[in-house]
Structure 1
Amino acid sequence: MGLAGAGHCLMMCGGLAGALNRPGDTAPSIAALVSYNAGRISSYALAGTLVGLLSQAILSGIGPGLLILRFVAAFFLIALGCYFGGWWFGLQKLERLGRPLWQRLAPSAAKLRQGNGLLTRYLAGTLWGWLPCGLVYSALSWAALSGSPATGALYMLAFGLGTLPAMLAMGWFSGALQSILKAQGFRQAMGVLMIVYGLWVAVIALRQTLVFN
């Protein structure tokens, strides 16, 4: 999911990543970029831990809890595919729910991003990780399927690592390759992939529902 969202990541967060890695940057600035993204991925892992705790409570308290979470995950995958392809933007409504928190965090994130120390950049990245994003929310729906805080954190860590190549290479990609990743055709292809996968997950959930009944 993280790799498939490369075009989305470049459009949503490429400006932030690019600002940390301008042409002519030296090795220390590359280290700062790595630190910044490490902070971002740390926040994803923390969010996965929290969602895993919540899903653990749901699975222990509701009989068909796993089936419910599978349907939720399938919905988010299909919605994400439509979001990538530009066919339906329902996830933007969900993103709006996270904006009040982000509005509080954004000023601090901007100040920290101006710092020179690696720790400062890491802390800025941890705040950046809470930027409202439909791609992240879709990944969290999979973390919920884990039913475990530790596994939820690992799921989000894997997702974050999937987004890392696009973010690290924002300043190094050629303009032509950036155009390909941002192109509507590429985004639509990734959207179809997500929709097909979401439908497959929904079919599995439906079969399990029949068995459960």
Structure 2
Amino acid sequence: MNLDLFAALLMGLAGAGHCLMMCGGLAGALPGGQGQRPALLMLISYNLGRISSYMLAGALVGAISQAALGGVTPALLALRFLAAFFLIALGCYLGGWWLGLQRLEQLGRPLWRHLAPLAARLRQHHSISARYIAGMVWGWLPCGLVYSALSWAALSASATSGAIYMLFFGLGTLPAMLAFGWFSGALQSILKGRGFRQAMGVLMIIYGLWVAVIALRQVLAIN
């Protein structure tokens, strides 16, 4: 697995507590949700829809990056520094030390105001297709974690690669989201707890610094 795919997967895994707070509520609120022991197929359908939206966003961002940068190496290195910054910002966001990513979330709120009523209506349906569409809609919820992952999709400078990176990010979020219906209250408290989120935040910051150092070495090698 290359560095960028690992980063996307790690972001998804590290954001387990954040995912439970942002998206777990919808999974539990859907008919047949947490209190009724949902069928695994229903949860999978919801999460496949959510990941599909991530992949679509990744493809769009990757295509835009490809058109704008045209594979220019200095521009791609600058984008790698930006991706490293987002990793560090995400770490601070997860740890609660700096919430600058919330400003990015505000950019997506106008779109979400139009999608939220649809998400609410889909909660009333029991079909697998409705669960999949509900997941797709919820995938556009303004989220600093997702926006950080999209920085890596942009770094790919390719629609296909951008979609793949967001697929890996989505896979990283699956352990928390698929098990939501079966998690004990104690385990949910741990994943949502400040200590766990701060530990994951530190991990993201360290990884972001490492990515920045690698990018700096590439710059020095070119010069």
Q: Name the CA distance, whole Å, in 2 between partners of 1:38 and 1:153.
A: 14
- Residue 154 in structure 1 maps to residue 199 in structure 2: no
Q: Name the CA distance, whole Å, in 2 between partners of 1:119 and 1:135.
A: 26
Q: Does the aligned pair in 2 maintain the 1:8–1:182 contact within 8 Å?
A: yes
2:174 partner amino acid: L
Which residue of structure 1 aligns with residue 99 of structure 2? 89
Q: Name the CA distance, whole Å, in 1 between partners of 2:34 and 2:97.
A: 34
Q: Which runs of 5+ in 1 are unaligned?
A: none
Q: How does 1:1-213 map to 2 (within 5 A)?
A: 1-20=11-30, 21-25=33-37, 27=39, 30-60=40-70, 62-213=72-223
Which residue of structure 1 aligns with residue 3 of structure 2? none
Using the size of structure 2 for normalisation, the TM-score is 0.90
Q: Name the CA distance, whole Å, in 2 between partners of 1:52 and 1:62.
A: 14
Q: Name the CA distance, whole Å, in 2 between partners of 1:108 and 1:15.
A: 16
SS of the residue aligned with 2:13? coil
Identity %: 75
Q: Which runs of 5+ in 2 are unaligned?
A: 1-10
SS of the residue aligned with 1:126? helix
1:60 partner amino acid: G
Q: Does the aligned pair in 1 maintain the 2:27–2:34 contact within 8 Å?
A: no
Aligned residues: 211
Q: 1:41-70 CA distances to partner (integer Å, 9 max, x unpaired)? A: 000000110111012123317451111110
Q: Name the CA distance, whole Å, in 1 between partners of 2:165 and 2:38.
A: 33
Q: Does the aligned pair in 1 maintain the 2:94–2:200 contact within 8 Å?
A: yes
Q: Name the CA distance, whole Å, in 2 between partners of 1:191 and 1:22.
A: 28
Q: How many angstroms does 1:114 deviate by?
A: 1.4
Sort the Cα spacing of 1:188 and 1:120 in 2 relative to 1 into closer, same or farther, 3 A.
same
2:77 partner amino acid: L
Sort the Cα spacing of 1:26 and 1:198 in 2 relative to 1 into closer, same or farther, 3 A.
closer
Q: Name the CA distance, whole Å, in 2 between partners of 1:178 and 1:166.
A: 9
Using the size of structure 1 for normalisation, the TM-score is 0.94
